[in-house]
Structure formats: structure tokens, C-alpha cells
Homo-oligomer: A and B are copies of this chain.
């Protein structure tokens, strides 16, 4: 595998972000993260999308029904993003508007997070791989019922060529070099990684 391997790494100029079904009802089904951890991971992922200026697409499933509306923080973060309220397609990639929105970004790398992992994330991830996209699933901003269902979904996606990473790895791979901007990314980390903030607090106190 070594000889022909190409490290397909995230490039902020060639990546789009797809946030799938982070709705108030569906999120309450998530139990493989504590609710507080999960909320933080989702908001940190979104904050990265905004920070790096990635074209971002929001989509929901049946938001009028028990699944509930998209969590308001995501709408506030991306007020102008394409927003596809799917009328029934479970796999977002089966929705023409969604695929068109993806294609309209002109990017070939797709960052995907959503609820629940094995359906709302895995299905479009595998469809996108089949279409030739490079797919990166943000594992800690994607939640499901329990660790068994998560682990099954991860192994299925890994098997198909999806790259699994947490939001912090995504941020690092997109940023490449701290010299591009220390303040901005530092503030984002400080907001979402309490112990990183503690390091900064201690550091500032000693300056």
C-alpha cells in the first residue's frame, strides 16, 4: 500500500462542509456522547467551517415533525448557507437539491457530520465516495444510539475509504500553519477546549 499511497489531506481551498440533521429531536437520541460533549463538538465543527470560510450546506429531515427544527446555533452561524429541508430522502445524497448544492461549491473534498452516524452521515459519505469525492467524517460531531452502532458505522466507512477524524484534527489539517493566524484559531480553541483555555489563562497570568 505504501508505494502508491497519496495523502489526501484537507485543503481549505478545496473543501466544503455538510451538516446533516442536527435537529433538536434527533439530537436527543444521541447517547454515545454526553449531551454537553456532543453540543460542544458540533458547535466547534461549525465554528471551524465559518472560520475557514468553507462553503457549508445545512440539511434537515422532516423538520416539521418529531425530529424537530435544526438547532438554532447552526442557523445563526450560517445564516446564508444553502438549507435543504428534505421532504423524505433519508440519504441526503438522494436529494437532487442537496447534490446540486454540493456540486455548486466546486469542491472535491467533503467534510460531513450529522445525526445519526450510521444513517445521516454514513449514507451520503458512501454515496460521495462513489462519486469520486474525498470524504472526511467528523466523528465527534456525529452521534448515534450507543457505541455498538457507532463502531459498526465507523468500520463500514473505513472499509469504503472514508477518512475518520475528530474536529480538532480537521482544524489542524485545514489551518496548516499557525502563522496564518494565531489569534483567530487560538480563540476558537479557547472557546471549545477548556484545558487549552486553562493553558492560556495560566500563560497570560505569567506574562
Q: Which residues of A contact B (CB under 8 A)?
A: 1-3, 5-7, 9, 24-25, 27-29, 31, 33-40, 61-62, 65-69, 71-72, 87-91, 94, 116, 118-119, 122-123, 126-127, 129-130, 132-134, 139-140, 145-146, 148-149, 151-156, 158-161, 163-166, 168-169, 172-173, 175-180, 193-203, 205-207
Contact = CB atoms under 8 A, between A and B. Distances in A.
B140 A194 contact: no
Copy number in this complex?
8
B163 A159 contact: yes
6 contacts: A7-B129, A35-B193, A35-B195, A91-B172, A152-B166, A206-B206
A147 to B, nearest CB: 9
B27 A36 contact: no
Nearest to A159: B158
Given A69-B202, A119-B168, A195 B149 contact: no
Given A36-B36, A164-B155, A196-B66, A7 B126 contact: yes
A68 B158 contact: no
Given A28-B195, A168-B116, A179 B149 contact: no
Given A94-B176, A193-B35, A149 B168 contact: yes
Given A139-B152, A169-B118, A203-B66, A25 B176 contact: no
Contacts of A68: 198-199, 201-202, 205
Contacts of A67: 199
A178 B31 contact: no
A107 B7 CA distance: 21
Contacts of A139: 148-149, 152
A177 to B, nearest CB: 4
A203 B201 CA distance: 12
A71 to B, nearest CB: 7
